[in-house]
Structure 1
Amino acid sequence: MPEWTFLTNHAHVLLCIARDPGVRFRDLAGQVGITERAAQRIVADLARAGYLTTTRDGRRNRYKLDPSLPLRHPLEQQHLIGELLDILRDPPTTS
């Protein structure tokens, strides 16, 4: 894992959920490189701020993102979460 990255763990969690709305905390934590508890805290942060909603699907959670909300930092507030996710959602294809 690199010493630092350009995106925060919150952005990484959003991206993982955008790619797989039914992702489990264990898998989310593994992909982002954080603990399951940290993944739970980040999902709770994002839900409190309105960036996602959680629904139960049997024994699992499913997440729905709101792409119409702005990024939070003043330098990026003119852009929407959906714009960021559109750029990063799909892994690059190799030809």
Structure 2
Amino acid sequence: MITDMEPVQPRTSWTFVTNHARILARISRDPEIRLRDLAESCRLTERAAQAIVTDLESAGYLTRMRHGRRNHYEVTPGTRFRHPAEGHREIGDLLHLLVDLGPSAR
């Protein structure tokens, strides 16, 4: 039995919600949100937010349409989680929870 082990330090760099989920939930709350505001509300750079929006659009989770000088986003209903462990569930279930927890719901 080893007794000289150092105490385990808690890992503090992880979160339950990914940046992809945050971006998608924020877009669900405000489909007309500017990329700058999206990035700021998710505490990301504009470049990181743009890359995530592109990921989500490429994977079919949202569509982006131009309305004049602004983008309008629409979350695609019925899309499923990507990981096989949750692949049977629709992403909308998570979005409902995250949108309800968001700042505009308070």
Runs of 5+ consecutive residues of structure 2 not aligned to the other structure = 1-11
Distance 2:13 2:44 in 1: 14
Q: Higher mean Cα deviation, 15-24 or 66-75? A: 66-75
CA RMSD of aligned residues (A): 1.7
Structure 1 consecutive aligned stretches of length 4 or more whose deviation exceeds 2 Å:
90-94
Distance 1:29 1:4 in 2: 19
Number of residues of Structure 1 aligned to a counterpart in Structure 2: 93
Show CA shifts across 1:33-87 (max 9, x none): 1100010000001111111101111110000011201011122111101111112
Larger radius of gyration: 2
Out of 12, 33, 48, which is 1:23 matched to?
33
Output the amino acid matched with 1:71: F
1:1-95 correspondence runs (5 A): 3-91=13-101
Aligned residues: percent identity? 53
Show CA shifts across 1:12-45 (max 9, x none): 0000000000111111111111100010000001
Distance 2:98 2:69 in 1: 29
TM-score (norm 1): 0.89
